[in-house]
Amino acid sequence: MKVIILCAGYATRMYPLTLVKSKNLLQIAGIPMIDHIIEKLKRLPIDKIFVITNNKFFNDFQIWAKDKEKIVVLNDGSNSDKERLGAIGDIKFVVEKTEDDEFLIIAGDNLFEFDLIDFVNYGRKKGITIGIKRVEDINLIKKYSQVILDQNGKIIYFEEKPENPKSKDAAICVYYFPKGVLRKYLDDYLNQGNNPDMAGLFIQYLYKKVDVYGFVFENKWFDIGDINQFHYANFYLLSKKLEEKFGKGYIYFFIAPGRVNIIGEHTDYNGGFVLPFAVDRYIYLAVRKNNKKIANFMSLQFENDIVSVDIKNIKKTNTWADYPIGILWILKKQGYDFEGLDFIFESNIPIGGGLSSSGAIEVITLTALNNLFDLNIEKTRIPFICQKAENEFVGARCGIMDQFIITMAKKENAILLNCNNYQFEYIPVNLGDYYFIVSSTNVSHSIASGQYNKRRAECEEGLRILKNYLNIKTLSDVKMEEFEKYKDKLPELIRKRVLHVISENERTKKASECLIEGNVKELGELLNQSHISLRDLYQVSCKEVEIMREESLKIEGVLGTRITGGGFGGCLISLIHKDFVDEYIKKVGKNYKEKTGITPEFHVSQIVDGCLPF
């Protein structure tokens, strides 16, 4: 038997997330979506699995398939949604490339718990068979295809996306074809000029020509059409794992985004402005009370490393879990009362990748405790408690920006935060035809934390000297004229650091105005100036970052690019015109890889809400 998994779509409903990555390769519950399907195929008598994709993502699928058995990745040659062959066109593409056989066809965005063995056995007995799912809400049928079966399981009615559904049976894109039939019917269907796009339309045509049977699947099924379905599937699979590991109980769900700082780098600990937004990369948490005095922590990113602590005596574990454990520790210390819990995390925020997976895991943990035990902690206090936990328990000297934006963020808005008095303002982000694209160098040099502490000390030294001449509390209180007047009092290195802080602060305020006005050109220019200042004055860039930036600026449609985050690796943020995203990914990706040997990652950012219950 041969399997065809359909992965050549462009998932336009999930743009811009799926502009740079195939939907079928997005991570769900720790592994690429398609791997959940491959897992289901393991017990079937299969000789080949054809994964049909498009030219745009062909390379990514080849990398994914490396070292995997039986998988053949095929390229349908299309480059955009406009050129797509459609589901039926793609099935034909595969069938023409291989000798005839029985075929099992599966949409690459359908996740399911049911076993395929019974399905295939049924098909072998009856003939052409499609999967059927009984939905609870008849209105859902409008989005799918409706099917009516007779007593023998034969389809007697089929309608794609019916306006007035009459039954709750939906057809799902899991098909079985015995040997010798698929090619003929495909040819007939397509030669008559029928729509090659929707697989359901082919079945709607087919059942009138030949007997087609429906096999009703009982277990859970997901059709990942949009981001909500995607979140939902993640939470469902997480809750299953939680039950498997720790037993049953009422489960609560929370979601928290990552963080990108548009501009205002190394200003936070100098009492200056930052301008971050919450980016659509997420950490997911399923959590329940366990009625014990123990907190258990599991992460799908460290699956074999389950960590438990006695909540009456919370100690550092020197594991990944110290970030969430720190939250329990600080809450106890501040006199809050709570009982034992089981936590399970899943995340597509790269860990240590500069989008603050640490801030996200802290905020989500605190938000969960606040909700589950009615701690009545005001939202505006959450970031400060998290920061304290990271400073005092984990021992990392972080500022407030990450936890602040991850808690307080509002969709389509950045936050202009004054790190001196913590006053903040929502800044509507008006980019018109432009996106922020985040390019990850996928390096983080180990000198980063040492250099970070050094920069902080240098700024403190600069402040100490300038305080002799000026009435200031932080470096951000220094005006540019004042700096000019007293700069000779500073040693050369310190002078450079201080100049960065003062000028970056000015740029950050200007940038927030550009966002409101939609002045993308000037915003791009500010990003460039910020980068140059970070590179030459603050000296926190590195070779890989410079290569990425140089490649990025070669792309027409890029208005500006700068390093974002602490430095010495991590990510760059660029402002790019929508029409140039494909070219950017292709060229910058290729050239960066050639020059550094490292595969980069790109993310076209959506600006989303902060941490919430789901």
Number of H helices, E strands in the chain: 17, 26
Least spacing, CB of residue 206 vs ligand ADP, in Å? 45
Task: Provide the phi-psi class of 93: left if phi over 0, else alpha when psi is between -120 and 50, else beta.
Answer: alpha
Q: Which is nearer to ligand ADP, 50 or 452 (CB)?
A: 452
Which of the listed partners (ligand ADP, Mg ion, none) does 516 bind, with a CB threshold of 5 to 8 Å by partner kind?
none
Min CB(356)–Mg ion separation in Å: 5
**Residue 264 Cβ vs ligand ADP, minimum distance, rounded to whole Å:** 17
Tokens of 593: 């890889």
Q: In what order do the strands lie in the sheet with 273-274?
A: 273-274, 413-418, 424-428
Q: What is the nearest approach in angstroms of Mg ion to the Cβ of residue 457?
A: 20
Q: Positive or negative CA dihedral for 12, 15, 20, 23?
A: negative
**Shortest distance in whole angstroms from residue 441 CB to Mg ion:** 16
352 binding partner (options Mg ion, ligand ADP, none; Cβ < 5 to 8 Å by kind): ligand ADP
Helix axes 520-536, 492-517, angle to 10 degrees: 170
330 binds, among ligand ADP, Mg ion, none (CB under 5 to 8 A by kind): none
C-alpha 475: how far from chain center: 36
Is the separation of the CB atoms in 497 and 457 below 8 Å?
no
Assigned token pair, 15 = 């743009």
Nearer to ligand ADP, 126 or 603 (CB): 603
Residue 252 binding result from ligand ADP, Mg ion, none, given CB thresholds of 5 to 8 Å by partner type: none
Which amino acid belongs to residue 328? L
Regarding beta strands 252-261 and 276-289, do their DSSP bridges make them parallel or antiparallel, or are they unpaired? Answer: antiparallel
The residue (of 358 and 533) whose beta carbon lies closer to ligand ADP is 358
417-441 as b/e, with b when 16 or more CB fall inside 10 Å?
Answer: bbbbeeebeebebebeebbbbbbbb
Interacting partner of 57 out of Mg ion, ligand ADP, none (Cβ under 5 to 8 A depending on kind): none
| Tally of CA atoms within 13 A in the half-sphere of 177 that contains its CB | 24
Between 357 and 528, whose beta carbon lies closer to ligand ADP?
Answer: 357
Minimum gap (Å) between residue 402 Cβ and Mg ion: 6
**Distance between start and end Cα atoms, the chain:** 41
225: helix, strand or coil: coil
Query: Which residue lies nearer to ligand ADP by CB, 138 or 351?
Result: 351
Instruction: Please tell me the distance from the alpha carbon of residue 509 to that of residue 529, in angstroms, as a whole number.
Output: 14
Q: SS3 of 176, please?
A: strand
DSSP type of residue 350: P
Half-sphere exposure of 242 (CA within 13 A, CB side): 27
Select the residue whose beta carbon is closest to Mg ion and give its number: 358
H helices within 207-337, ranges in order? 227-246, 322-333
Closer CB to ligand ADP, 259 or 549, in the complex: 259
State how far the Cα of 407 lies from the Cα of 16, in Å rounded to an integer. Answer: 23
Which residues make beta-bridge pairs with 48? 2
According to DSSP, residue 26 is labeled: S
Give me the active site residues, please: 402
Instruction: Evaluate whether 381 touches 365 at the Cβ level (below 8 Å).
Output: no
> Based on CB atoms, which residue is closest to ligand ADP, 103 or 284?
284
For ligand ADP, the closer CB: 212 or 330: 330
Choose among 461, 476, 451, 459: nearest CA to 567. Answer: 451
Nearer to ligand ADP, 114 or 345 (CB): 345
Closest approach, Cβ 386 to ligand ADP, in A, equals 12
Cβ closer to ligand ADP: 206 or 344?
A: 344
211 three-state secondary structure: coil
What's the min distance (Å) between Cβ of 597 and ligand ADP?
Answer: 22
Asked if residues 134 and 216 have their Cβ atoms less than 8 Å apart, the reply is yes
Which residue ranges make up the site for ligand ADP (CB under 6 A)?
Answer: 283, 299, 301-302, 320, 323, 345, 347, 351-358, 361
Residue 211: phi, psi to the nearest 5? -65, 125
The distance of Cα 154 from the centroid of its chain, to the nearest Å, equals 41
Q: Maximum distance among all alpha carbons in the chain?
A: 92
Minimum separation from the CB atom of position 298 to ligand ADP (A):
9
Cβ 586 to ligand ADP, closest distance in Å?
Answer: 27
Q: Applying CB under 5 A, which residues contact Mg ion?
A: 356, 358
530 binds, among ligand ADP, Mg ion, none (CB under 5 to 8 A by kind): none
Dist CA 480 CA 563 (whole Å):
24
